[in-house]
Each structure stands twice: as C-alpha cells, then as structure tokens.
Amino acid sequence: MLFLKVCASSSAASTARKMAGVGITFVFLAASAVAQKAAAPSNKQLASAAIERKVDSLLKQMTLEEKIGQLVQYNDSGYAGAADAAQLAANPEARNGVNSMELAASGKLGSMLNTVGAEKTNAFQHAAVDKSRLHIPLLFGADIIHGYRTIYPQPLGLGATFDPELVKDVAHMSAVEATTAGVRWFYSPMVDISRDARWGRTTEGAGEDAYLGAAMARAYIQGYQGDDLSNPESVAASVKHFAAYGAAEAGREYNTTDMSEIRLRQDYLPPYKAAVEAGAATIMSAFNALNGVPATANPFLLQKVLRDEWGFDGFVVSDYTAIMELTHHGIALDPATATRKAFLAGVDVDMMSHYYDTELPGLIRSGQVPMSVVDESVRRVLRVKFALGLFEHPYARGTEITAAVSEHRPLVRKAAEESFVLLKNDAVQGNPVLPLSSGAKKIALIGPLGDNPGEMLGSWSGGPQLSDVVTIKAALESRAKKNDGSVVFEKGTEFTGTSDSGFAGAVQAAKQADVAVLALGESGVMSGEAGSRAHLDLPGNQEQLLEAVAATGKPIVLLVFSGRPLVLTWAAQHVAAIMEVWFPGTEAGSAIADVLYGDVSPSGKLPMSFPWAVGQEPLYYNQFPTGRPATGIDLMQPPGGDSRFFSRYIDVPNRALFPFGFGLTYTQFSYGKVSLSRTAVPLREANVQGARNLMTATATVTNAGSRAATEVVQCYVGNLGASVEQPIRSLQGFARVTLKPGESRQVSFPLGFDELSFYNSENRAVVEPTQYTVWVGDSSLATDSAEFKVNP
C-alpha cells in the first residue's frame, strides 16, 4: 500500500530511478515517503520557476544524443582511458575516437574538466555555443582546491584556522581569479572526514572532526557560490567525495570503507549535509565502496540520503573514471551494467569513463533505463547551467589573471599566519625561543624546504607561477637585514635523502648561528591523491639531520611542512620550538617571518590528532568509552601487574602526542568556570528537530600574558546514559577571540538539538534523557566543565 502511495505522489522519473535502481528494496520506501516533502527543488540558488520553464522548453527540443551529451564530461584530450595528455600526445590513437572539440560542436558534450585558461575555454565554448544545434554552453570544472593563481594554505591548514569567515573570503578570492580563465565550477570543497593520517588526501579536507568540517564546508560553499550563482564571479561547488572516502581502510588510497550507519551519520556525513544545506550546486561521488557498495553505484547514499532526505537539487558527477571502475570493484561484468548501476543509483554525469555516451542509448532502447530518468538528470545539469547564467555569459570573465594578484596577497598571508600551529615553545636561557629575540641575529636556515618555492604550495596547486612565491630564505633575509642580522642557508639533505653529505655544512651553520631554523617535512606529492604513507616520520634522513643539528646545543625552531599529522615524538622530546606550518602557499615565507619575529602571534589549533606512533592510527579525540578504561593508569609506563588488562597499548600512551584543538601562542590564556543557563532541560523541549538554544554554556577567557593574541575557545559536549554509546566528548562550538594583555571576554555557546542529539539504533537523530557534561577550554583536553540533565 505504502509503495503505491509513494509511486502515485512521486515524480515519474524519481520513481523510475527508485524502482529500477540497484539494490533498492522496500525497506527504503519509508524514507522515500518522507522524502516527498523535500521533492520540490529547495535550493534557492538553483530552483526557480523561471529556470524550470527554461529547462522544460530546452528539454522538449533535445534529441536523445543531445540529452546524453549533457551527461558526458571529458578533458581537452578527449578520451584516452585513464591516460593523461602526455600519454595521448605519445599515442594519439588512444583517443578512442572521442574528440572533445568535435563533441562540443555537435552538442554531445556537457562539461569539461581541468580545461583551464581563457583562450582554451573560450575556444571550446565557441564550438558549443556557435556550432551546436541548441547552443547549450559547456560548463568548465577544475580542481581549484586552494587558490588559482594566488595560493593559500591547503584545506587542512585552513582547518587549523578555525576561522570559517576567512575560509569564505579565500574561497571567494579563488573564484574571482579562476572565473577569468573560464572556470565556473570547482571540484571543491573536499569535506571527507579523515581520522587516519596515513591517508594522503587528509591534506584536502578540514581534518578529523564533523563539527569543524561542517563549519568549513558551509564557508567554502558561501565563498564559491556567493548569494547569487549567476554573478560571473561565482562558481558552482562540487562537494566531494560522497561519501566516507576519508575512512579508507588502513589509510590506503581508494580502499574500501566499512562502518555502521550510526557512525556514518554522526561522524562522516555532517559536512556533506552542511554543504547541501548551504546550497551546494553539485556533488561528486567517491571512488570507495561503502559497506560493500561502491559509492558511485550506491542508491543508499545518492538517492536515499542525498536526494530523499536532504532534498538535493543539483547534479551528481562521478569521480574520474569511477563508473568504469565499477567493473574493477567487481559489481559489473561489463560497461552496460556499470552504466546502468551508476546511472540508476543517481550519478548524473560521467567524468571520463566514456560509458554514458556509449552505453546509455542501448540501455534506453532496451528499456533498462527509463527515458524519464535521463530527462531528470539532464534537467539537473541544465538547472545548474541556467543558475550560473552560462547562457548569458558563457565565456571567460574580464581580463585573464595569470599571476598572483598583489591585492590578494594580504589575505593569503593572513590565512597562512592563522593556519600555523605552535606545538612547543620551551624557554632556553630563561626565555621562550619564539618569538625570536632581538639577540637572535645570526640565523642558520636548514632543510629541503628552506629555499623551495614549489614546495611551499602542496598538492593540487597547478596554476601559480613559482616566481610569485615568497620563500622562507627570501623573507628571513629581508627581516634579518632590518635587525642587523644575517641568514645562512644549508639544505642539509633531500626530502627522501639517504646521504648525510650535507649534514656537516648544516651543523657548521648552526654552530655559528644564534638560532637554527629547520624547515623539514614532506614534499607536496607525499600527500594528496595517491599519497598514502605507512610511515609518518619526517621522510628520508631528515630526522637524523635534525638530531645532528640539535647536538650543537643551539636553540632550534623546527618548522614542520606536511599535508597530514606526522610522528614528531623525537622532536617533541628534544627540540625547543616546533611549529606546524602545513603548506602555506604564495606568501609562505612572509607569513612564517611574521610569526617567527612576533609581529603576529600564532593562533592555529590542530584539526587532527598528532600520534606518538603510526600504530595508533586511526586516531581521533572523540573516542568511545570501553569497558576497561585506562583512567588513572600511567600509560607512559609499560604495564606491569595490575595495569595490563585495560584498553591500552603496552608501548605508547593512548592519547595523541599533540591532541585535536591544541595550539600554543605567545601569551597564556586562562579560563574561568563554565556556567550553564539552567540545570536541566525537559525532554519534550529538547527532542525537537531544529530546537535551538536549549542551553547556553558560558566561560570567561582572559589573556593572562603580556602579548595580544587570538584564542580559539572550544566547547565540547559529552553525555552518559544514552541507548547507544556516545563519544566521551565532541566539539559542539568554537569561537576565535582576540584579546589584549589583561583583557577578558565572556564567550557563550548556545546548545540546541543539533549539538545535543545523536543517532540511535534506528539511525534517527534523537535527544534522550541523559546526563550531559560541557567543557569549555583551549583544546580537546579542556578540563573546566559543568553538567546538566535532559529530564524524562
């Protein structure tokens, strides 16, 4: 009965998708019924009566070939399997008969990827607009991940800023730049939660936490899309990779993920959901399988969650050749089956698989794919194109930006400064090493990142010119000059070096200096896509170089460059000052000098836990309780006698070396007691979706030191007594607060249904009558807390 009712009230197309979809069962129907409430387009930027009318009129005129064309995406090399342009140049036959220019001219291509530059995009666009029968413009998408020409820190570094407003600004800045090259669609933000530092793509997201990830996801969407997608400076976002790609087993790239639905909904989906709620125009499906079903053919994710529950109106694009890869996953024996499974699951656009154009016609003819489903997907693509105003402004905007923009430099410098996390700053001869004292005149700058413009940028930074990048050497030299000082640079070793022939020079330079600044860490390609690592130490023999320099006894500042948490255990025990700088971008050197010299106090906080040892991975702060908690046991000691049978390691502590939310600065902040607006909340008031401000937690933070600085005040919530185990605590609020010496500020965190609810065994978000603890403090180890109850 329910089934019939749903069919009757559902659009024909979405019903067809549901009926024809792979593995869609009756269990799914209850949610479909719920979803009907959200079926009408709800995204204000995409859905308007005017747009729907235009789409209707165009759809009526389109041939099947033209419709399928809108669902096909190639790069400018046409199709060469998974081959890149270089391979194609070597073997033009690899093109498989697909020529993007010809396809564009005949209306058989809807969008292009990583085709960038005004000349190029305009040429393809002219082919589509001038020559194709219906003059439908192409949509150019590209991996503009952290800036186009003026590069800002990688998303993980931006996560460390805990500053969504800043993220919105830099995202907008890159849209302003890239739209001059004809790009109106970014394959960004990557909102995959990653709790495993071995996974290389950790660098592309905001880290391990769902709340922080959701805040950043919203900020990117607002920055890219603005209030009006049709503004020629706006770009459509593609939120990726849907879903749970960041939980790839053992951190190995493209590996399978397997998790309970509770964990998926509670810890992995919130950033994607936040992005959809913020109006994201498109979503990219992920490479991985989730609980046995590849995300690119996963009706649970793409239909039930994304469309039925969240009411997503935009289109879904596959990841690169991911539809073809369904055969590798073993869920399709042939291209036709892969196409049918992906398409009926809800993937609208085929990125580079060369399957939709070859297979969909036959599947439609044989009735395996209903025409209504095709129309529905074409509608979604056209909706985004109309919303972007592409029919009115198809070409690259204004004058093409080809180099870093000087007016954008202050913003990317600020972003870099805010991203740095001071992990350690011990006193040497009575004073903390940082900021550098006026006595620190002679600086020995050592390491493969000391004078290396390309490696200041990290992965996915194709656009910039290296001459635009400020290196550490250049910035420190100019600062040292003002201070009557000098800088001696010694590379010391290579990234993955094994030779110690450069060590002597480095040691000599350190001996003659007042302070040694070591710029060590990963190269850009060691993280990012296909950058999984099984070891998380400083690569090559960089740690030996550090040890050799440390043996001089000179004060050391270690600058760590990395796209992920590294194991810094030796450094934490032997080096006076350590600062994580990720990959800072175009203004790397200037930002580093600003912070080293104390013009700016560091304010970044870790968006991921830094482990003692790689064997702790996946490591995250919002752990669940166990029946044998190791509370009160000295985990620095190997177990003996009574201390063995607890949830612990015998060789490292349980906790992180540097925990989530942690970061020092050049002053000290003190916290007053946490106070709550009331002692209890009745369940009938609390267990209401959308209920806000059920409880307010307030604490006073004071700058108790002698320098102005910014603190990221963090609010964590935990509860006991629920029907399912809850994490010991999880982040539910944060605020950046800048205080002068001696200044205090009250900071309040409103807690509503979203902050207090959790998923129960029916996978529903609920508040139950339980006992809550709220902590407010400077990291996930915050100790000041207060308690309240949700009464039955």
Query: What is the number of other CB atoms lying within 10 angstroms of the CB of residue 201?
Result: 29
Beta-bridged to residue 788, according to DSSP, are 772
Sites for ligand BGC among residues 493-552 (CB under 6 A): 529
Query: With respect to ligand BGC, which residue has the nearer C-beta, 237 or 412?
Result: 237
Q: How many residues bind ligand BGC (CB under 6 A)?
A: 8
- Give the nearest distance from C-beta 541 to ligand BGC in angstroms: 32
Residue 742: C-alpha distances to residues 679, 706, 714, 745 (Å): 31, 8, 20, 10
Question: What six digits make up the tokens of 179?
Answer: 């739209």
- Phi/psi of residue 73, each to 5°? -135, 130
- Give the nearest distance from C-beta 283 to ligand BGC in angstroms: 12
Return the H-helix or E-strand segment holding 547: helix 542-550
What 3-state DSSP class applies to 791?
A: strand
* Type of residue found at 274: A
The beta strands (E) that lie in 92-165 are given as 111-113, 139-142
620 binds ligand BGC (CB under 6 A): no
CB 419 within 8 A of CB 161: yes
- Give the nearest distance from C-beta 188 to ligand BGC in angstroms: 8
Give me the catalytic one of 169, 196, 308, 319.
319
Beta-bridged to residue 712, according to DSSP, are 736
The DSSP symbol for 267 reads: I
Output the residue with the shortest Cβ distance to ligand BGC: 187
- Give the nearest distance from C-beta 267 to ligand BGC in angstroms: 21
- Give the nearest distance from C-beta 254 to ligand BGC in angstroms: 9
Sign of CA dihedral 404, 407, 413, 415: negative
Question: What six digits make up the tokens of 276?
Answer: 């959809």
Among 43, 73, 100, 114, binds ligand BGC (CB under 6 A): 114
CB 482 within 8 A of CB 438: no
- Give the nearest distance from C-beta 114 to ligand BGC in angstroms: 6
Of 143, 185, 269, the C-alpha closest to 528 is 143
Of 353, 297, 361, 373, the C-alpha closest to 330 is 297
The DSSP symbol for 689 reads: T
The beta strands (E) that lie in 159-288 are given as 185-186, 236-242, 282-285
143 binds ligand BGC (CB under 6 A): yes
Question: What six digits make up the tokens of 749?
Answer: 């965190």
Query: With respect to ligand BGC, which residue has the nearer C-beta, 451 or 529?
Result: 529
Instruction: Mark whether 319 is an active-site residue.
Output: yes
Query: With respect to ligand BGC, which residue has the nearer C-beta, 530 or 720?
Result: 530
199 binds ligand BGC (CB under 6 A): no
The DSSP symbol for 306 reads: I
146 binds ligand BGC (CB under 6 A): no
Beta-bridged to residue 290, according to DSSP, are 257, 293
CB 574 within 8 A of CB 554: no
- Give the nearest distance from C-beta 320 to ligand BGC in angstroms: 4
Binding string, residues 310-349; x marks residues near ligand BGC by CB under 6 A: ---------xx-----------------------------
Query: With respect to ligand BGC, which residue has the nearer C-beta, 322 or 571?
Result: 322
Q: What DSSP assignment string belongs to 602-624?
A: -----SSPBPSSGGG-S--SSPP
Sites for ligand BGC among residues 151-190 (CB under 6 A): 187
477 binds ligand BGC (CB under 6 A): no
* CA pair distance 162, 606, nearest whole angstrom: 9
Binding string, residues 238-267; x marks residues near ligand BGC by CB under 6 A: --x---------------------------
211 binds ligand BGC (CB under 6 A): no
Query: With respect to ligand BGC, which residue has the nearer C-beta, 525 or 765?
Result: 525
Crossing angle (nearest 10°) for helices 164-178 and 409-419: 140
Query: With respect to ligand BGC, which residue has the nearer C-beta, 187 or 300?
Result: 187
648 binds ligand BGC (CB under 6 A): no
* Type of residue found at 143: D
Question: What six digits make up the tokens of 774?
Answer: 């709220």
113 binds ligand BGC (CB under 6 A): yes
Query: With respect to ligand BGC, which residue has the nearer C-beta, 237 or 619?
Result: 237
Return the H-helix or E-strand segment holding 696: strand 695-703
Pinpoint the alpha helices (H) of 551-679: 569-574, 588-596
Query: With respect to ligand BGC, which residue has the nearer C-beta, 320 or 669?
Result: 320
Query: With respect to ligand BGC, which residue has the nearer C-beta, 117 or 602?
Result: 117
- Give the nearest distance from C-beta 120 to ligand BGC in angstroms: 16
- Give the nearest distance from C-beta 352 to ligand BGC in angstroms: 8
Question: Which positions touch ligand BGC (CB under 6 A)?
Answer: 113-114, 143, 187, 240, 319-320, 529
Query: Which residues participate in catalysis according to the annotation?
Result: 319
